[in-house]
Structure 1
Amino acid sequence: AWSIIWGGLSGGMPILAGRVLGVGTIDWVGLMLAASVLFWIPTHIMTFSIRYHEDYQAAGIPTFASAYGFIKTRKIIAISSVLAAIAMGLSAYGIGIDIGYFRIMIVLSVGLLSLAAISTRNPSDKWNFGLFKYASLYMLGSMLLLAAVAF
């Protein structure tokens, strides 16, 4: 569990550093951008560790799922997905994204939250791996939308 937290914190530092470089100070938008990465990491990493659970077990590598079980892991994934979507939405608002781009962000977030909910309520390898893949597309799409505001 700690590796995910430390990894999420370190993963959020580049976007915070970029924001500080751009605006000259640490502000709430930069902190929300970093939080969006921090909360996105469990969705990305834990779905991967569920998919390859047997491989991790065979290699003797502990994972959150092996320590706490699949049910708790899926709940953490769902909660972190909600928090990531909220942090990303607040970041978009703070940056001043226009309503058209914000609607696209909402659609992306609904996709993430829907897959997280389905994966929690109806667990399967298919839904889990779909969420893993979509989480990456979600982050890419969200960041591209935020970057589009600058141009």
Structure 2
Amino acid sequence: MNNEMTSSEKMVTTNNIISDLKSILKLKVLIANILPVFTAFWLAIYITGSSFTEHLGLFLLTMIGSTLIVAGALLFNNWYEVDLDKEMLRTKSRPTVTGNFSLQAVFRTAVALTVLGLILMLFTTIEAAVYAFLGWFVYVVLYTVWSKRRYTLNTVIGSLSGAFTPLIGWAAIEPAFHIVPIVLFMMLFIWQIPHTFAIAIKRHDEYKAAGVPMLPVVHGIAFTKRQILVYIACLFPLPFFLSMFGSIFIVIATLLNVGFLYLAIRGFYTNNELKWAQQIFIYSLVYLIAFFLVMIIASLLV
């Protein structure tokens, strides 16, 4: 009997491992959290007139440290919510549910990544390390453990966690008491709420079956649509506080907000709420990437 794996079997095994890692680390969420760190670091370099090459070591410490901390927080979330993941279609294939990764291994890895990430962040600035820890604490303790299974405000609390990321990147260069990181903090906090509400509408039945008190489950989809509209409207003033990036940036950011608001208003006239929620979800991702990329490009052109 041949006990050796064929090349095709090895390929399948490797692909399965990669797929499991992407799932448990929530790769898209991880990237969405690290992009603001990079953007804020870059903008702090621009505003202070510093040289990126002179801060290359600091940049690597900031990016690696923050990535490890975010990854640690996401692993803690997977470890703690394995019972909920079993009840939801989109999470049933996570390795913590299938047993491909043991819960003990996931927990230990989460601790190790968090501790290592915080140690690396301490080699940047104390302020940046504090923001990184606060983001981790809000997501793991206040969101995952305390509020998600109890209150509809879990979305607001979870959004606060992600909003710390630009403060991390900026504070690695200089104190974050500056209009740019403050506006980015506010933008991310506000942006995440309609983004998450769209997911909650898409997965309404799954959240209801799992007993998670998401806003559309508790107060209905119509109420959630109104909340999405309100939060998107709150994004409109923010680009005007960033006039140092030029009028082109303000125009593009405002157009992004107009598109977001237009989609939100369409939600009141649609017969296909799942399709509409998917459109809001996709647009919100495009919005986030475009907003930060335009800021980076504007800093190069101004």
CA drift at 1:104: 1.8
1:43 aligns with 2:194: yes
Match of 2:255 in 1: 107
Match of 1:8 in 2: 159
Higher relative contact order (CA 8 A, sep 6+): 1
1:141 aligns with 2:290: yes
Q: Taking every aligned residue pair, what percent have the same amino acid on both sides? A: 22
Once the two structures are superposed, residues 100-140 of structure 1 have per-residue CA deviations (whole angstroms, 9 ceiling, x without a partner) of 23222222111111101111343622222111110111011
Runs of 4+ deviating beyond 6 Å? none
One-letter identity of the residue aligned with 1:90: F
Scaled by the length of structure 2, the TM-score of the pair is: 0.46
Query: 1:109–1:22: structure 2 CA closer, same or farther, 3 Å change rule?
Result: farther
User: What's the C-alpha RMSD, in Å, of the aligned pairs?
Assistant: 1.8
Once the two structures are superposed, residues 13-66 of structure 1 have per-residue CA deviations (whole angstroms, 9 ceiling, x without a partner) of 011222333443412332221111111111110111101111111222221111
One-letter identity of the residue aligned with 2:262: S
Match of 1:65 in 2: 216
One-letter identity of the residue aligned with 1:92: L
Which of 275, 279, 290 is residue 130 of structure 1 equivalent to?
279
How far apart, CA to CA, are the structure 2 residues paired with 1:23 and 1:132? 34
Q: SS of the residue aligned with 1:26? A: coil
How far apart, CA to CA, are the structure 1 residues paired with 2:183 and 2:249? 18
Once the two structures are superposed, residues 54-105 of structure 1 have per-residue CA deviations (whole angstroms, 9 ceiling, x without a partner) of 1111222221111111111111111111113433x13532xx1122232222
When Rg is computed on C-alpha atoms for both structures, the one with the higher figure is 2
Aligned length: 148
How far apart, CA to CA, are the structure 1 residues paired with 2:252 and 2:258? 10
1:29 touches 1:90 (CA, 8 Å); kept in 2? no
Match of 1:75 in 2: 226
Which of 172, 175, 179 is residue 28 of structure 1 equivalent to?
179
Residue ranges of structure 2 left out of the alignment (5+ in a row): 1-151
